[in-house]
């Protein structure tokens, strides 16, 4: 048996991905609390600054994990550098819009609902890929979309058939994140994912900074008062979580990795309840359960239930 097979689904890999999901899930708490100190664009600007600095500092560690020599751009090829910069800027703009809608939405909805609605991007990616690129969508993915739609009804639509505006903003955020993933899928081949992420966060700094100065009135003393949630969102959910994701995916197969990372939504729900006292109705919890089931279905490989031919002796 090869060493690679021995390492797959190791306890260390599972723990790394679970911690990553925990950090991403509890980062919704940081966003909710941070929103009390500053407006959405200001919060996203501050967290993007910290994310950019953190990822830049961690570049040598990422290169060490990948067992390659360190360099700022990670390549001497000018064509790849050009693609990296252009792709990072495009991804940064998409990420900025998605993050803005998420931060705006979390001001008007609970952490738990925000976590589950945001996680819908996992279900929306194959659907949008089918609509835009005519990509194949499996029966399980189609079923996942249907179940997710029913779950969203129970989460967002109350007995008066009205929708909370925070839930609506967060759903737009999920669509934006799905588009962000599709953009990355087209850009990333042959590029360094961490450096692409670094450039996209740097782009987000510029994008949010310009709009912040135009549309908001940042109070710098409030940024200092809200340093803890901003730091958690900027440092922990970027540099630390990215590191855990890289390490974890090295020692877990892709299906298990995706399912462990999907626990982000469950951690968001639990942390919102335990730390902020944001209880949800039985109707909303049922809807979250349906969305979580849809997320799981969307990640099941299509050949999982195919019968394998018996090996010939």
More confident residue, 231 or 306: 231
For the cut 80, the answer to whether the pLDDT of residue 249 exceeds it is no
Report the alpha-carbon distance of residue 235 to residue 143 in Å, rounded.
Answer: 37
Q: Which two tokens stand for residue 120?
A: 């819908």
Q: What is the pLDDT of residue 161?
A: 64
Q: What is the pLDDT of residue 129?
A: 87
Q: What percent of the chain has pLDDT over 70?
A: 92
Span 162-183, pLDDT tens digits: 788 999 999 999 999 999 888 8
Report the alpha-carbon distance of residue 222 to residue 218 in Å, rounded.
Answer: 8
What average pLDDT does this structure show over 49-59? Answer: 92
Of 27-36, 48-57, 99-108, 192-201, the one with minimum mean pLDDT is 192-201
Q: Which two tokens stand for residue 302?
A: 């299509």
Q: What is the pLDDT of residue 263?
A: 86
Report the alpha-carbon distance of residue 6 to residue 138 in Å, rounded.
Answer: 31
Q: Which two tokens stand for residue 300?
A: 């099941």
Most trustworthy range by pLDDT among 32-46, 62-76, 132-146: 32-46
What average pLDDT does this structure show over 235-243? Answer: 85
- At CA 292, angle to CA 186 and CA 273, rounded to 5? 115
pTM for this prediction: 0.85
For the cut 80, the answer to whether the pLDDT of residue 126 exceeds it is yes
243 touches 288 (CB < 8 A): no
Residue located via tokens 């359960």 = 289
For the cut 70, the answer to whether the pLDDT of residue 46 exceeds it is yes
The closest of 14, 32, 48 to 253, measured between CA atoms, is 14
Span 178-224, pLDDT tens digits: 998 888 888 888 888 888 889 999 999 999 999 999 999 999 999 99
Span 58-80, pLDDT tens digits: 888 888 887 888 888 888 889 99
Q: What is the pLDDT of residue 242?
A: 79
Report the alpha-carbon distance of residue 19 to residue 231 in Å, rounded.
Answer: 17
Say how many residues make up the chain: 313
């Amino acid at each position: 048996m090869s060493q690679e097979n021995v390492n797959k689904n190791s306890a260390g890999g599972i723990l790394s991905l679970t911690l990553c999901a925990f950090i991403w899930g509890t980062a919704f708490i940081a966003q909710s609390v941070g929103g009390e100190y500053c407006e959405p664009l200001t919060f996203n600007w501050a967290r993007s600054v910290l994310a950019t600095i953190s990822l830049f500092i961690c570049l040598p560690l990422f290169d060490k994990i990948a067992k390659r020599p360190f360099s700022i751009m990670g390549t001497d090829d000018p064509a790849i550098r050009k693609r990296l910069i252009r792709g990072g800027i495009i991804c940064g703009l998409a990420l900025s819009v998605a993050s803005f809608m998420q931060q705006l939405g979390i001001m008007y909805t609970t952490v738990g609902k925000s976590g589950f609605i945001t996680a819908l991007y996992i279900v929306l990616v194959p659907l949008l890929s089918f609509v835009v690129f005519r990509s194949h969508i499996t029966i399980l993915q189609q079923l996942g979309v249907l179940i997710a739609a029913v779950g969203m009804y129970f989460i967002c639509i109350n007995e008066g058939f009205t929708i909370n505006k925070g839930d609506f903003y967060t759903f737009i955020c999920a669509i934006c994140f799905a588009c962000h993933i599709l953009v990355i899928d087209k850009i990333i081949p042959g590029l360094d994912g961490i450096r692409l992420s670094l450039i996209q966060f740097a782009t987000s700094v510029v994008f949010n900074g310009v709009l912040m100065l135009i549309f908001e009135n940042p109070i710098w003393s409030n940024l200092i008062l809200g340093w803890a949630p901003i730091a958690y969102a900027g440092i922990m959910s970027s540099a630390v979580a990215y590191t855990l994701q890289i390490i974890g995916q090295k020692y877990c197969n892709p299906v298990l990795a995706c399912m462990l990372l999907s626990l982000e939504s469950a951690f968001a729900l639990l942390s919102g309840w335990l730390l902020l006292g944001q209880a949800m109705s039985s109707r909303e919890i049922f809807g979250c359960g349906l969305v979580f089931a849809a997320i799981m279905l969307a990640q099941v490989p299509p050949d999982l239930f195919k019968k394998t031919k018996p090996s010939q002796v």
